[in-house]
Chains A and B, each alone.
Chain A
Amino acid sequence: METVLQQVQGFMYPNEIELQWSILIVLYPFITGLVAGAFILASLEKVFRVEAVKPTYRLALLTALAFLLVAPLPLQLHLGHPERSLEMYLTPHTSSAMAMFGFVYLWYLMAVLVLEIWLDYREEIVLRARSSKGVLRLLYRVMSLGVDTISSRSREIDEKLARLITIIGVPSAFLLHGYVGFIFGSVKANPWWSTPLMPIVFLFSAMVSGIALVMLMYMVVSWWRRTGIDMRCLDTIARYLFYAFIIDFSLELLDLVHRIYEADESFKSLDFMVHTRLFTSQIVIQIVLGTLLPLGLLLLTQVARLSERTRKTVYGTAGVLTMVGIFAMRWNVVIGGQLFSKSFLGYTVYKLDFATREGLLPAIALMVLPFVILAVLVRLLPPWEAAAVPPPARSKVEG
């Protein structure tokens, strides 16, 4: 902490010198954002009948689940008393966005995601329960709730119900990540956070990151399994990524222009912070590398005729840059919001340790964990067996 104190510039209220929320709290909106985005992509097929993305439907749902299961972990690691976290469910303070988010999370996990996956997979689960042995058989039997019926009528009912759940699920996904935005956006004490735009910006950047993630996963998984990529699917996903990105970019630009124009009491201080302490993470990584560049690449694929191979390279690059950019956006919101003093007269630094409870190492581990869980889920509930057969390869772009 002494090094932090030495690097304080200007004046900060003494209690502000140490940052309260660390990289773990950056991870948390990033992860829930991926969940919301992946789910919205999946719902494109079910609700909006965008047939083209069907090959990624189940993969997107499983990805969402894997990440949603990990989402509470950075919070637990961050709490001073994680053993008391049940209090949020037992005595939730209804005026607290954080408390009410606990219920939004629970609703989304149980009533939307788990139910939808279960209903979509139920037939396979029952079939596998019948054909497996030993522990796996027990597992599948538990997952089927001990019910062996997969008559066509029961499957019809499942389909209808799944569709209903997805319809409810779309606003629920919006609520899931919009709420996280509200947790920041409703803090009037912090002008970097306090704006009604925050939930919407969070939501659209979540969609961007989630769609990018599923797109990348689809490409990686297809390469790994040595199956062909359905280019119609991939092109469609990339197109939706592009649309979502345009909206996200416009919203963030609106926020920026609004701030510069109104130039309220916090502006000079924030502006200085962006040009100094936050320059690399905001200007270089988030804006240039993480937004303008992938937007430009995606725009290229929309207006130019590119070969399949080129498109894949561009999509992959854009996807990775997008993920980095959205992570940087979360970083800039959370960390940036704490680097400046609420007196608007000074700045502190964020010291990221490596192998401590809130250090880089646990952060990396928490980002790897969802993929481990996903690997297990994919093993148990393969997302591609019942997926649509890829249409005959069309190597030219459809323009």
Chain B
Amino acid sequence: MRQIFKDTEHLLRMAGLFALGVVGFVVLRAVFVPAGFGELGHFRTGALEDNREHPLVYAGRDACANCHDDVVAVRKGGAHAGIGCEACHGALAAHAGDPETVKTGRPDPRGTCLVCHRSNVAKPSSFPQVEPSEHGEGQACTSCHRAHNPKVQ
């Protein structure tokens, strides 16, 4: 009996090392797997909050309507009524959060309009487009069109 043990002692020690490895692995798991992992799926639940924590840079048109309801009234029924304010005015969450201190300039009265309305063969043909060199003689578009409700005056 003793002899068998002596002859296999090295194997038993190796098995012991392997067992130690498994135990070590379990310990590592307990220590290093982040909290909240696996609750809702194979991911860390906290990642949902991380993705939500991002600050807003665009305020959204409802935020603008809070103060600028007069513009809302002008836009009503017009061709631009469905366009978000920030589509032309740029990102305004900073302004909406602190309207007195954070001001923003007016959009370029020709360039901004041409972003959408410059003609391009790939645009849907039903969409109003102009060839800038043939329309408006280089003037600001707002000389004839009201930006918020662009029927020609």
B-binding residues in A (CB < 8 A): 86, 89-91, 93, 110, 115, 118, 122, 144-147, 149, 151, 153-154, 157, 161
Contacts and interface: CB of A to CB of B under 8 A. Distances in A.
Contacts of B17: 145
Given A91-B37, A153-B3, A110 B13 contact: no
A110 B17 CA distance: 11
Given A118-B14, A145-B17, A149-B7, 18 more contacts: A86-B28, A86-B32, A89-B25, A90-B29, A90-B33, A110-B18, A110-B21, A115-B14, A145-B13, A145-B14, A146-B13, A147-B9, A149-B6, A151-B7, A153-B3, A153-B7, A154-B6, A157-B11
Contacts of B7: 149, 151, 153-154, 157
A90 B38 CA distance: 12
B10 A122 contact: yes
Contacts of B6: 149, 151, 154
A54 to B, nearest CB: 24
Nearest to B31: A90
Q: Which 7 A-B residue pairs are closest in the complex by CB-CB distance?
A: A147-B10, A154-B7, A145-B13, A153-B7, A147-B9, A90-B33, A90-B29
Contacts, number: 43
Contacts of A90: 28-29, 32-33
A231 to B, nearest CB: 37
Contacts of A149: 6-7, 9-10
Contacts of A146: 13
B106 interface: no
B125 interface: no
Given A151-B7, A154-B8, A93 B14 contact: no
A154 B38 CA distance: 47
> Which interface residue of B7, B8, B17, B38 has the most chain A CB atoms within 10 A?
B7
A157 B6 CA distance: 12
Contacts of A145: 10, 13-14, 17
Nearest to B8: A157
Interface residues of B, number: 20
A145 B11 CA distance: 9
B36 to A, nearest CB: 12
B28 A154 contact: no
Interface string B25-51: 100110011000110001000000000
B39 to A, nearest CB: 12
A283 B6 CA distance: 60
Nearest to B33: A90
Given A93-B42, A110-B18, A154 B29 contact: no
A122 B7 CA distance: 13
A294 to B, nearest CB: 41
A128 B3 CA distance: 23
A161 B11 contact: yes
26 contacts: A86-B28, A89-B25, A89-B28, A90-B29, A90-B33, A91-B37, A110-B21, A115-B14, A118-B14, A122-B10, A145-B10, A145-B17, A146-B13, A147-B10, A147-B13, A149-B6, A149-B10, A151-B6, A151-B7, A153-B7, A154-B6, A154-B7, A154-B10, A157-B7, A157-B8, A157-B11
